[in-house]
Amino acid sequence: MTTLSFTNILVLSYNSLSYAAILFLLASGLSLIFGVMRIVNLAHAAFFLFAGYLALEFYNIIFGSLSLMPRIIQLVSWTLLYFAWRGLNLYVAPRHAALALLLTYIVMETLCSLVWSFRFFELFFPHVPVKPVDRINFAGMITAILVALAIAALCGMFIERFFLRRLGQDTLSQVLVTIGFAFILQDGSLYTWGGDNFMLKQPWPLNFSAVVWGLSLPQYRAFMIVIAVVVAAALFLGIERTRLGAIMRAAVDDPEMARGIGINTNVVQMAIFAIGALLAATGGVVGGAFFGVYPGLDFEILPYAFAVVIIGGLGSLGGAVLGSIVVGFIENFGTALFPELSYFALFAPMAIILAIKPTGLFGKG
């Protein structure tokens, strides 16, 4: 076991807090979705990773790389294919329409490879190498992030509306569907953006370190803490102080009664799922400039998010704050003090809390 100087402890605490900030962004969404809708969302961290990739993609589009054009071609190709399918179906039976499209595809693929030496299917699935962007500014970064967040939230709404809503309260189906989407998002990202490790660029002036009392403290870490505090405050005010928040809480207290006084609980559930996905995505883009964005990051961080909500208590905002700080500190100090045991240092307390107080420190049960 190594000993820590006072300076080490200060720096480690700073790192722990900033790590806790990312964990909070991820885990608060997980906790919200579970606490309110009783859905164990294993795809949650996939939103985290997916949003990182999306932000990367839109960075590249906005800051002028080549990746926009293939995406437009892809969109146009899929749209044309859709209308071709609809058009064909007006005149012939679906079986014949499918056959016609297949034949067209074979002819086009052959023609394209032989005559123009490119692959026809790449119109639908263009492979674009993503290069990290060097130049970056705040306005562009914000735009890219907002677009990425919106897409992630829409994905969440889509999954809730067309899949999870049909399953009701069947936990096994929920777990299977969400883990299925976790793999789809993961492998879809791998296919589209490849296996390289990317780093989202930290915009000026966050890409510097502040020097305080001789300690070098990266400013981006402070930025992560600020974002987490702002999000926590917004969540608290939104849930506890607004009409929409009251409607959400009413739908949790007694969903049937809530419908009986005119609350459309379907819309409420979809909104909650979208907010959960949005929180994960926020963690993903903020953390993407810190952890990096790479395949496997999602399943690497998901256990930490579960540790946070188990320690803090599911469905409790205060619990998510406390849980993130506990996990952030244990992880950072554990790694520094006994690196070979850092996983044990984190998950042993979790197991103990599960055994003693299964609802977590702040859990409502």
Contacts of 300 (CB under 8 A, 6+ apart): none
* Nearest residue (CB) to another protein, 170 versus 254: 254
Q: Which is nearer to another protein, 56 or 320 (CB)?
A: 320
Q: What is the C-alpha to C-alpha distance for residues 131 and 199, in angstroms, rounded to an integer?
A: 10
Provide DSSP, 140-167.
HHHHHHHHHHHHHHHHHHHHIIIIIHHH
Q: Which is nearer to another protein, 134 or 253 (CB)?
A: 253
Q: Which of 244/348 has CB closer to another protein? A: 244
Can you tell me the distance from the alpha carbon of 37 to that of 138, in angstroms, rounded to the nearest whole number? Answer: 36
Query: Strands 215-218, 209-212: parallel, antiparallel or unpaired by DSSP?
Result: antiparallel
DSSP for 86-132, please give it: HHHHHHS-HHHHHHHHHHHHHHHHHHIIIII-S-GGGGTS-------
Least Å from the CB of residue 9 to another protein: 40
Minimum distance from CB of 263 to another protein (Å)? 6
**Closest distance of CB 34 from another protein, Å:** 17
Q: Phi, psi (5° rounding) for residue 211? A: -110, 115
Least CB distance to another protein at residue 265 (A): 7
**Residues in contact with 206: Cβ distance below 8 Å, sequence separation at least 6, in sequence order:** 219, 220, 223
Burial annotation 230-267 (CB, 10 A radius, 16+ → b, else e): ebbeebeeebeeeeeeebbebbbeeeeebeeeebebee
Query: 254 vs 300, which CB is nearer to another protein?
Result: 254
C-alpha–C-alpha distance, residues 16 and 8, integer Å = 12
**Residue 326: closest CA among 360, 291, 288:** 360
Distance CA 62, CA 73 (A): 17
The string of DSSP codes covering 8-30 is HHHHHHHHHHHHHHHHHHHHHHH
In angstroms, give the least distance from the CB of 298 to another protein: 33
Q: How far is the CB of 31 from another protein (least distance, A)?
A: 16
Token reading at 69:
């054009």
Q: Which residues bind another protein (CB under 8 A)?
A: 243, 246-247, 249-250, 252-254, 256-265
The dihedrals phi and psi of 215, each to the nearest 5 degrees, come to -95, 140
| Minimum distance of another protein from residue 271's CB (angstroms) | 14
What the block records as the tokens of 279 is 């929180």
- Residue closer to another protein by CB (options 95, 243) is 243
Q: Residue holding tokens 């993503």?
A: 130
Question: Among residues 4 and 247, whose Cβ is nearest to another protein?
Answer: 247
Q: Whose Cβ is closer to another protein: residue 263's or residue 336's? A: 263
Rounded least distance, CB 267 to another protein, Å = 9
In the complex, minimum distance from the CB of residue 166 to another protein, in angstroms, rounded to a whole number: 16
CB-nearer residue toward another protein: 214 or 262: 262
- Percentages (nearest 5) of helix, strand, coil residues in the chain: 75, 5, 20
